Amino acid sequence: MSSYRKALADQSGFTMITVIITMSILGLFAVGAWGAANNDLPVGRQDADRKRAYEAAEAGLQWYSYQLQRDTNYWTYCGDNSKTPAYVQLQGTRSSWRPVAGADADVDTTTAKNQTAEFAIEQLPTTTTTTAACLADPSSKLLSNGVLRVRSTGRFNGKLRQVVGTFRRSGFLDYVWYTKWETQSPQVYDDSDISWASTNCGKGRKTRSSSCQDLQFPDRDAINGPMHTEDDSLLVCDSPDFGRDAGDKIEILGATTKANASVASGGCGNNPNWNGTVQLPAKSVDLPESNTALASVADRTYSGTTCLQFNSGDTMSVYTNVTCAGSPSSTVTLTGDTTIWVANKAACSGYDVAQQYNNSSNCGDVGVKGTYSKNITIGAADDIVVVGNLTHTGDGLMGLVANQFVRVYHPVNWSNGNCTTNALGSSAWVNNIDAAILATTGSFLADNAKCGAALGTLTIKGAIAQKWRGIIGQTSSNGTVNGYIKSYNYDDRLRYREPPNFLDPVTVTWNLLRQSEQAPVG
């Protein structure tokens, strides 16, 4: 082979060229990857900072919740930082920042500075106000329908995130059914037995006398919502329904197991439908001693026997008798949230079980009926009597708060001191009540519930709270004999709202109902 052809066939140096080209390409990739990663570092850092700021905002809301549990009046301090602990202000300023407890400081690699997660708490008033004005009347400045709103701002490395929390006090409006004792009030006993019943019946089922007049939930009863009793158990006949679903809590203070949360009435089965979740152990929620606090906040006050009929057009007709009979003495227009108080003119006698609606006109008894659309609370120094269907339109809420009894109107015919038949036709019976009902020392009951024919189903949408259990009807194996079967249905609006000035329980705690991020930051 010629030297020329040998030179052409020689492959020396080709591998080196390939390696050089490959390494050049790889170098370009490395430079590109380094550039992309370097550009992403600030973006990744910002995302981490925003997450830390959000965590700080949540920590602030939990910190405020803890302060409310520690001191249920903490919200009334209105951002006055002379109170302890401080770090709470009214909306509009965020000068008091508190470090998140237990959070480690982070290092910003771009600045080499330590960063600490912090939060600031603002109470959100219902109207623009000052700390001094808020301290003078915190309820009107900070609460809307019993709800408190608080904003927590978290910050970290210059990033801000905000979370708004909604708080409401726990109490009777958490339940469609509340009783202190599942036995009848001493006031419905014969006069000679009232003192005995007062001594022996105001205690749990396990320790009270078996002669106390306990009331059962019969087979067809439906309590559709959360329940609470301070008593030891519920007395049932066969299979009443308790709760709608697992989200409804059933709290029986004296029960230690689900098995002893109910007991059978004589001759009955003990097979309740626990549609709700039996809470063990249950917390205690106690009643105030009276409703007279409403007198000092009432927008309208009446005295002696009164009846209020709610009409379309937001008007209220006022009568000077308990049944709204005859012509009204006045008619008023309701323009906003209203609290009404009906006072005694003079001392009043106790509830008459043989009810003939002849109580003294001096008594602070108020009858109610009609259709309402505003937020209204009615307080009575004596009894409230629902004398006709009481229903709502729109988003109105009604509160009925009696010092003694909240009663369902049921006149009957009397002969030789005995009640015989219903005095009203079925079109005049009360069958629907939309209200939050509270009887501070008495009961919710139907008048003359042991007389007359069956009245069908009493449907309530709202809540019932009472010191003593009240009778609504009597049943037998064949169904209702007298009075009503119960269909009590929780008004879920009461989870977040309450009628104006509705009474708080003796023991109050605050619950964080919900939280949501506010964006953009305010």
Q: What is the pLDDT of residue 279?
A: 94
Whether this model's pTM surpasses 0.95: no
Q: Tell me what pLDDT residue 169 has.
A: 86
Contact 286, 230 (CB under 8 A): yes
DSSP state of 69: H
Asked if 166 and 421 touch (Cβ cutoff 8 Å), the reply is no
Residues in the chain: 522
**H-helix segments, 176-277:** 194-200
Q: Phi and psi of 214, rounded to 5°?
A: -80, 150
Tell me which residue has tokens 């988003």: 395
Instruction: Dig out the tokens for 507 from the structure.
Output: 């023991």
Residue with tokens 């995302």: 47
- pLDDT of 46: 75
Separation of alpha carbons 463 and 468, rounded Å: 15
Of the candidates 100, 97, 138, the residue with the CA atom closest to the CA atom of residue 121: 97
| pLDDT of amino acid 80 | 83
Instruction: Report the C-alpha gap between 177 and 193 in whole angstroms.
Output: 28
Task: Pick the closest to residue 61 from 136, 119, 141, 139 (CA basis).
Answer: 119
Secondary structure, 3-state, 473-486:
EEEECCEEEEEEEE
- Tens of pLDDT along the chain (522 residues) come to 555 555 545 555 556 666 677 777 776 666 555 555 555 545 566 788 999 999 999 999 999 999 988 888 889 888 887 776 777 889 987 888 999 987 555 544 445 445 789 999 999 999 888 889 999 888 889 998 888 999 999 999 999 999 999 998 888 999 999 999 999 999 999 989 999 999 999 999 999 999 999 999 999 899 999 999 999 999 999 999 999 999 999 999 999 999 999 999 999 999 999 999 999 999 899 999 999 999 999 999 999 999 999 998 899 999 999 999 999 999 999 999 999 999 999 989 889 999 999 999 999 999 999 999 999 999 999 999 999 999 999 999 999 999 999 999 999 999 888 888 999 999 999 999 999 999 999 999 999 999 999 999 999 999 999 999 999 998 876 666 899 999 999 999 998 889 999 998 887 788 898 999 998 888
pLDDT at 41: 46
Listed in sequence order, the residues at least 6 apart from 89 whose beta carbon sits closer than 8 Å to its beta carbon are: 79, 81, 95, 96, 120, 121, 122, 123
Alpha helices, DSSP H, located in 163-239: 194-200
| CA-wise closest residue to 508 among 196, 180, 241, 284 | 284
Residue type, 123: Q
Predicted local confidence at residue 44, as pLDDT: 60
